[in-house]
Amino acid sequence: MRPGNNTIEECKAGLGGDGLRIRAKLPELIERGHESLTTAEKDLLKWVGVFFRKPTPGQFMMRIRMPNGFAASEQLHTIAEVSRRLGNSVLDITTRQQIELRGFTLASIPEIWEKLRGVNLHSLQTGMDNVRNLNGCPLAGLTPNELFDASPALFELDRILVGSDGNPEFTNLPRKFNVTVTGCLENCTHNESQDIALVPARAGKRVGFNVLVGGKMGSGGFTIASPLDIFIEPEEAARVAAELIRIYRDHGPRDVRSKCRLAFLIEEWGLERLREELIERLGRALSPGGTDMRWSSQADHLGVTNQRQIGLVAIGFCVPTGRLEAEQMSELARLAENYGDGRIRFTTGQNAIIPNVPEERVDGLFAEPLLRQFPHAPSPFFRRLVACTGTDYCNLALIETKRRAVELSKALEKLNVSNGEPLTIHWSGCPAGCGNHQAADIGLRGVRANIGGQVVDAVAVYVGGRSGPNAVAGQQILEAVPCDDALPDVIGTVIQNLELFKQVERDPAARERILMVPAGSAEFAAAPQDELIGIGPASAALDCHSDSRYESESPVAVAENLAVQVCTVDELRHRRQVRVKVRGRALAVFAVDGRIYAADAECPHAAAPLEEGTVENGCIVCPLHGYRFELTSGRCDTDPHLTLKTYFAFALDGAVFVDVTDSNSVRSASAQAGVML
């Protein structure tokens, strides 16, 4: 085992390398009280699934281990009862298919553990340097779309790693370790972001697993797991996976925490050496990788799924962002008992499934009141919505996520920018990436941004991420979009142009905050190549102007239906209100309190020039008849029948841009590149 050189390694060394030994100190910690806990003690409590939360001092979180997301109604009733009586009645389904219990005190831990043990649950090894909850297809053994039922291999691996009382052999890893074991063909788990993923494969007439290794989220971004080029049969899967974990335990880096994942050992060793080490430890040869049998499509298992078992179906419910109250969990358990056989499955999308429902009972289940809160057929903006814990309870989060995620999805429903296909929209409150924001169509990562001299909650925006056989890491296109009223319009515009944004590529020579649409669109083809700065991740939108001179009457189009440069920041700062022409339209652009607004230049009442009007309390006042129009929405205070068309405007690298998309234009935006006007 490599020597360690960080504070967590020192914590473990103090307990002989076994964080589970903190259990023996629990009575002392309870007697002393939470105020006296040292940083080391707070970290060590995570080995037993107990988490100190800075946002709620004195109120802890417990992560309950639920391999494969399998649960029973009796277990949910117990969790709900404990949450009501000892916690704050707030529960979360996580992206690792388990439940987080919140709001309890240090003194209540022994009683909670006793209640959980009574229903075959525990919280051991769910945090810090352990193999976290094992993920698998929630419909394992039920869905007809699986090569085989992989859950027995998964549960055998959990027995080896943790068992019912913890296993010190696997409690001193260099850092956390994520594993997925699945036989599902529909990519319902995030295999490519796992340290180890066993995925369904066929080698000749044999069915089993291909092994992917070295995936991760956070610690520098989404690293896509690589094939180890071995095929293993289901009965040997647990042993092989456990041996790979031992290799990581013995040889993984233990210095800088951000460099302690399996991906970095592979970076140092290479896949060939890892494979050779595994073969040597197993004492036998391994077959080369088989044919990956997974489909290109992705499933969330919501709605009605016909099971293998004739006459039975599974019903998947959308639990928005995975958050539910204790009473809702009790009701979910009741429905599982009344309509199914008392079983419940949780998904990596933070949703819940009641399986084994007789077909003739489906209509009755759909009529239950809980389904108005947890629909089986949600809108495209809620169906695949995921959000991490956020600042409500997380020590690391930079912004509140769950409430904002719900609000954004509701706003997107009103904007009606979907083609009807569900979008994966994932929120992470910080770079740790617990919301898997780089594995989604639209990913939002929380940041804090200085806008107009004020530090505000904002998000970096990513597009084009996905897991599966053709996994892609989402690319950042926007650096710091404030979480204000304009955010839905910003994301709406991105959704409408999603395929174009997905083509964005990085150019190492480009400035990091600049985003360019790849050459190939009609207007790029017509632009002289020496005008292009390059391609890279963006803070706001697009820039293809390299000359410091600028003629506001002949703007350079950046990309069709996206953004057009209209003037310089200095010009707008000096004049405050300017008139420009964009594709034959006359626009008025305003600078107000560090924000930029754009609208049609002619008043819809009598065509007066609005750039000559005055700005009062967020409204432009027409210079001719005094009609008042809100700069954010275009609504007319004077005559409700009139509306002024407004546009998304922003500043970037000394220039001002306007999005002149005709439909669902963004109503306002901050100077997102940090330009103070």
pLDDT above 80: residue 313: yes
Span 334-385, pLDDT tens digits = 999 999 999 999 999 999 999 999 999 999 999 999 999 999 999 999 999 9
Burial (Cβ within 10 Å: 0-12, 13-18, ≥19) of residue 57: exposed
Query: Of the residues 176, 249, 261, 383, which is catalytic?
Result: 176
CA–CA gap between residue 501 and residue 517 (Å, rounded)? 7
Q: CA 85, 88, 91: angle at the middle one, nearest 5? A: 105
**Is the fold of 151-292 the same as that of 384-501?**
yes
63 is catalytic: yes
Span 205-232, pLDDT tens digits = 999 999 999 999 987 889 999 999 999 9
Q: Is the dihedral of CA 626, 630, 631, 635 positive or negative?
A: negative
pLDDT above 80: residue 307: yes
pLDDT above 60: residue 406: yes
Domain boundaries, the chain: 7-117, 151-292, 303-373, 384-501, 548-670
**Residues 467/323/57/43 CA torsion (nearest 10 deg):** -30
Tokens standing for 60?
């802890």
Query: Of the residues 137, 260, 394, 434, which is catalytic?
Result: 434
CA–CA gap between residue 90 and residue 92 (Å, rounded)? 7
CATH numeric code, 7-117: 3.90.480.20
137 is catalytic: no
pLDDT above 90: residue 88: yes
Query: Of the residues 42, 46, 175, 249, which is catalytic?
Result: 175
435 is catalytic: yes
CATH numeric code, 548-670: 2.102.10.10
Residue-level pLDDT at 505? 57
CATH ID of 384-501, from 3.40.50.850, 3.40.50.170, 3.30.413.10, 3.30.565.10: 3.30.413.10
Residue 634's pLDDT band, with cuts at 50, 70 and 90, is confident
CATH numeric code, 303-373: 3.30.70.3340
pLDDT above 60: residue 675: no
Query: Of the residues 4, 208, 435, 474, which is catalytic?
Result: 435
Residue 108's pLDDT band, with cuts at 50, 70 and 90, is very high
Span 600-629, pLDDT tens digits = 999 998 788 898 888 888 899 988 778 889
Sequence-ordered strand ranges (E) for 485-574: 563-568
Span 97-110, mean pLDDT? 98
Tell me, letter by letter, the H, E, C secondary structure of 138-185. CCCCCCCCECCCCHHHHHHHHHHHCCCCCCHHHCCCCCCECEEECCEC
Query: Of the residues 63, 249, 404, 667, which is catalytic?
Result: 63
* Class of the CATH domain delimited by 151-292: alpha beta
Query: Of the residues 429, 433, 446, 492, which is catalytic?
Result: 429
Q: In whole angstroms, how large is the CA radius of gyration of the chain? A: 27
pLDDT above 60: residue 550: no
Residue 527's pLDDT band, with cuts at 50, 70 and 90, is very low
175 is catalytic: yes
pLDDT above 90: residue 92: yes
260 is catalytic: no
State percent of the chain over pLDDT 90.
69
Residue 530's pLDDT band, with cuts at 50, 70 and 90, is very low
pTM, 2 dp: 0.78
